[in-house]
Each structure stands twice: as structure tokens, then as C-alpha cells.
Amino acid sequence: MRIRQAIYQFVDDVIELIWPPNHCLLCCGLIPATDLLLGVGLCQHCRHDLAAYNCCPNCATFIHSNATPEQLALHHRFCHSSQVQGIAAFNALAPYAGQMRQNLLQLKYHGQRRLAKPLGQEIARAWQHTGWPADVIIPVPLHAEKMKQRGYNQCDLLAKACGEVLNLPVLSNVLQRVKATEVQNKLNAEERKSNVESAFACEDGIEQLAGKNIILLDDIITTGSTMRACAVALQSARPAAIYGLAVAGKLLQTESFEKFAD
């Protein structure tokens, strides 16, 4: 298992050396070499477009600044009923739609591990904008069986890239997924909740989390049920706070521009 992972990593490193990812994560346009050296994954145009969205800290929904009062009221109703206990606040990089959705599908199901680095670096920038405190990053774990099939945990890779930028330690082994769960995207909110309930447990080393601000990192936040289940397991460590961070959150359907059209 470890040898397979080491080989994957080596191949990725060689490819990256010869052909570094140099396309914008949203529009696929070329990123200037000077920006690439700084670990930038978005072109200026897309960064500007993303700035028109606000990621709701309560439910991780992306809301465009053009949202109508009716759409805002809709969000309010949804948001009010979707409070995720145990998570102090959520943040994500972009809406789960268009090219960002494709990036995550490629990373998760098509072995495109190299996408994790620019995505992780950009999540780190999104985090820096929040100004929230953080001491450690914990990626949402995969079940051992899934890990065996896929060969890697995409959240682990994202967390490592994010941790390098934020200069924070990544603890990948403290939290374990002890229950093999169904894929969440075919389930409704209630089914999602019961699917992941008791799916996570803390292993040795939990005492180091006491009084710490934890970033819990996932690839997508939809209903927040996975994050909530992780938070339940982590609460036994008595952390100061747990924040949910992800590449993508759901998009409130407004007059979204074509970049986020499915």
C-alpha cells in the first residue's frame, strides 16, 4: 500500500517538474509564470469574479451579490434550519458548479492528484481572508477499504497543500472513518445525516487537540452532515473550536455567470 502511494507520489512529482499545472482552475486560461511561482491557481479575472460571492459562514452556501430579496429570503429560511452543531463557522473557495465541479470529480474519481496542490493553495488563501484562528488541520478521512481502492485520500492531499501555505501541521491519523458509508451525493439531507452518524472516531493522539482551533478540511460541503459527524467525534478532545473548510460549497441559484453554469 505504502509502496503504491510512494510510486504515485514520485510520478506526480516528476510530471509536475516537467509540466507544472499552469492553467486557471476556473477558466483554464494560462497563468503567468510569475504567479505560478507564488502558487497561484486562479487567474486575476476569475479571482475578481469569485469576489462577487459570499460564502455563508453558517451553511457554506455561495450567494452572489446580485441575489434578489426573494432569493435571499429563501437562503435565510434554509440557513436557519441547517445549523450544523459543533462547527463554529464554514468557509469554502468556490461554488460547486462548472469547472470547479469538474476539478473535484477529476481529483476524486479520475486519479488527477496533481489538482490537489493548486486547489489546496487556493483554499488556504480563502481561509486567510476569514481571519479566523487556526492551530491544526484535520482532513476528513476515507474508510480503509475506500483508501485501498483509490490509493489516496483527496482531502489529505488538499490539507497538505493548504497546510504548507498556512504553515500549520496536518494531522491525518487522529480521526478515522470507522464505518463504510454510502456515497452521499445520491441521498437527501436526512439520509445523509444518518448515513454518516457514528462513522468517525478519534484514535491515539487526540489529547494534543485540547484547546486548539481545528480546521476540518473536506472537498465539498453540501448539508454539512459529514462535518457534523466528524465534529461529534472530535469534541471529546475538547478543542477551542472546529471550523469547516472546503474547496466548494453549494451555489444559491441566482443569475450566476456562465463560469458556474452546469
Residues that bind Zn ion (CB under 5 A): 24, 26-27, 29, 43, 46, 56, 58-59, 61, 79
Q: Is 178 exposed, middle or buried (0-12, 13-18, 19+ CB in 10 A)?
A: middle
Grid cell at residue 246 = 472546503
> Judged by CB, which is closer to Zn ion: 29, or 169?
29
> Judged by CB, which is closer to Zn ion: 27, or 72?
27
In the complex, least distance from residue 231 CB atom to Zn ion, rounded to whole angstroms = 17
In the complex, least distance from residue 63 CB atom to Zn ion, rounded to whole angstroms = 8
> Judged by CB, which is closer to Zn ion: 22, or 176?
22
Q: Residue 207: phi, psi to the nearest 5?
A: -60, -25
In angstroms, the Cα distances linking 66 to 13, 63, 191 are: 42, 8, 33
In the complex, least distance from residue 186 CB atom to Zn ion, rounded to whole angstroms = 23
DSSP string, 107-138: HHHS--GGGHHHHHHHHHHHHHHH----SEEE
Q: Are 198 and 229 in contact (CB under 8 A)?
A: yes
Grid cell at residue 76 = 435565510
> Judged by CB, which is closer to Zn ion: 18, or 37?
37
In the complex, least distance from residue 68 CB atom to Zn ion, rounded to whole angstroms = 16
Grid cell at residue 180 = 463504510
In the complex, least distance from residue 114 CB atom to Zn ion, rounded to whole angstroms = 18
In the complex, least distance from residue 150 CB atom to Zn ion, rounded to whole angstroms = 28
> Judged by CB, which is closer to Zn ion: 140, or 221?
221
> Judged by CB, which is closer to Zn ion: 56, or 196?
56
Residue 246: strand pairing partners = 92, 218
DSSP 30: B
H, E, C per residue of 48-61: HHHCCEEECCCCCC
